[in-house]
Amino acid sequence: MAETFLSAPARAARPLLTIESGAIADNVATVRSRTTAEVMAVVKADGFGHGIVETARTALRAGATWLGVTSLAEAFVLRRAGFTAPILSWLNAPGADFTAAASAGVHVAVPDRTTLAAVAGLDRGLSVHLHVDTGMSRGGADHNQWAGLCAAARDAERSGRIRVAGVMSHLGRADEPEAADNAASVARFRDAVAVARHAGLRPAVRHLAATAATLTNPAAHFDLVRIGAGLVGIDPSGRTRLRAAMTLTAPLIHVRHVAAGTPVGYRHTWHAPAATTLGLLPLGYADGLPRSASDRAQVLVEGRRCPVAGLISMDQTVLDLGGAEVPAGRQVIVLGPGDQGEPTVADWAGWAGTIEQEIVTRIGRRVARRVVDHEQTREELA
Ligand SMILES: *Cc1c(COP(=O)(O)O)cnc(C)c1O
């Protein structure tokens, strides 16, 4: 969400998440250069923390033709924002508002007979994607339920109650392209499509691959690839260099001199090894800095990496400025693409013992957001 109502000085005085839309567009272009399949922009979880509406808009302009989300609530946000592209929502309880989905023209995934009965019972011709499990035992129909689900869907389609637009599944180990499970899952998916066709269904959109399989495994592409992490610069397989789109900055609140041995923060887990200067950053774990990264994390202050001193608190973090006289108000780069030496999302994920997706989806709501193009970012952060 662009914060156009804040003046530049006011923005500089508070934590700010800057999203570079050009990076998202470049990532879509990279994906499109690797496949002939259509591209679904997966913008669940507020566009992986990059803003659902802005990320969807940028991805569609760059050539994505579908939008994908988990909940219907997210799909309705997109429709209300005016997007007319096909939208698929794949994680809904049987009691979800499928009537509203039909009115909004949102496709829904159907993993079982209960959900099928709910959508067919509306008699609205809702477009569904039958969802089959191919080896991760998360979403999707069990192998032994699949033929029955297909037969029931065919009956519902023949009577005009639904339209079976697609068949989908998801890979559990696509981030490890060499794992044999991937080929086994692709084979199971092909079999599942054959079962659907044998039942008399003609699903036009078969889709299995997310970012990692799209970038590493052409056999998984089928008609449509579902790209989430890749939009925002994350390749879960680590094979392709994409462009990070997110930069998190905050001004120093206050700087103090301390003597050697001074304890810092909750539980005094850190003591100044020598006389130093400490800077206070108005960001904490409620803003998305993982507390588990406390004893390893660094940020960029005036072009230098400075370590976090002590435990990251809910709202604030102390930095060891190493004796530098940094004025309060100075902008600190907490994470970004890394071009200026700042830590990356991957650095933070490593420090916290997690994956990049967890870092980008957890930036807190009180951090202001803005979307810029490439040139604007360079200018303002310089
Ligand atoms: C989140 C999700 C995606 C996108 O995966 P990425 O690895 O982030 O590209 C695709 N399909 C399903 C079913 C998902 O839940």
Q: Which of 42, 185, 357 to mutate to test the pocket of ligand 1 (most atoms within 8 A of CB)?
A: 42
- CB of 154 closer than 6 angstroms to any ligand 1 atom: no
Burial readout 145-161 (b: 16 or more C-beta within 10 A, e: otherwise): ebeebbbbbbebbeeeb
- SS3 of 284, please? coil
pLDDT of residue 381: 53
From atom 12 of ligand 1, which residue's Cα is the shortest distance away? 170
Q: How many CB atoms lie within 10 A of CB 23?
A: 24
State if residue 229 touches ligand 1 by the CB under 6 angstroms criterion.
yes
Catalytic one among 263, 266, 269, 328? Answer: 266
A 10 A CB-CB count for 84 gives 9
**DSSP-derived secondary structure for 89-104:** E----TTS-HHHHHHH
Measured from the Cα of 227, ligand 1's closest atom is 9
- What's the pLDDT score for residue 136? 97
Domain boundaries, the chain: 21-232, 246-381
Helix axis angle for 143-158 and 113-122, nearest 10°, is 10
Q: Provide the strand spans (E) within the chain.
A: 16-20, 38-42, 66-69, 87-89, 107-110, 126-131, 162-168, 205-207, 224-227, 246-251, 254-258, 263-264, 270-271, 276-281, 298-301, 304-307, 317-320, 331-335, 368-372
Q: Is the CB of 285 under 6 A from ligand 1?
A: no
Does 170 sit in the ligand 1 pocket, CB within 6 Å?
yes
The closest-lying atom of ligand 1 relative to the alpha carbon of residue 231 is: 9
What's 200's DSSP letter? Answer: T
- Whether 244 is catalytic: no
CATH superfamily membership of 246-381: Lyase, Ornithine Decarboxylase; Chain A, domain 1 (2.40.37.10)
Residue 44 a catalytic site member: yes
21-232: CATH topology: TIM Barrel (3.20.20)
What is the model's pLDDT at position 7?
73
The Å distance, Cα 181 to ligand 1 centre, comes to 18
Q: Of the listed 37, 41, 44, 135, which one is catalytic?
A: 44
What is the Cα–Cα distance from 3 to 20, expressed in whole angstroms?
Answer: 14
Along the 382 residues of the chain, how does pLDDT read in single tens digits? 444 556 777 777 899 999 999 999 999 999 999 999 999 999 999 999 999 999 999 999 999 999 999 999 999 999 999 999 999 999 999 899 999 999 999 999 999 999 999 999 999 999 999 999 999 999 999 999 999 999 999 999 999 999 999 999 999 999 999 999 999 999 999 999 999 999 999 999 999 999 999 999 999 999 999 999 999 999 999 999 999 999 999 999 999 999 999 999 999 999 999 999 999 999 999 999 999 999 999 999 999 999 999 999 999 999 999 999 999 999 999 999 999 999 999 999 999 999 999 999 999 999 999 999 865 655 555 4
Quick check: do 21-232 and 246-381 share a fold? no
Query: Ligand 1 centroid vs 206 CA: distance in angstroms?
Result: 15
Q: Whose Cα sits closest to atom 1 in ligand 1?
A: 228
Global pTM value: 0.96
**Atom of ligand 1 at shortest range from CA of 170:** 13
For the chain, the maximum distance between any two Cα atoms, rounded to a whole number of angstroms, is 80
Question: Using a 6 Å cutoff on CB, does residue 90 contact ligand 1?
Answer: yes
Ligand 1 centre distance from Cα of residue 40 (Å): 10
Ligand 1: which of 40, 226, 345 to mutate, most ligand atoms within 8 Å of CB? 226
Residue with tokens 């900055």: 249
Q: How far, in Å, is the centroid of ligand 1 from the Cα of 210?
A: 5
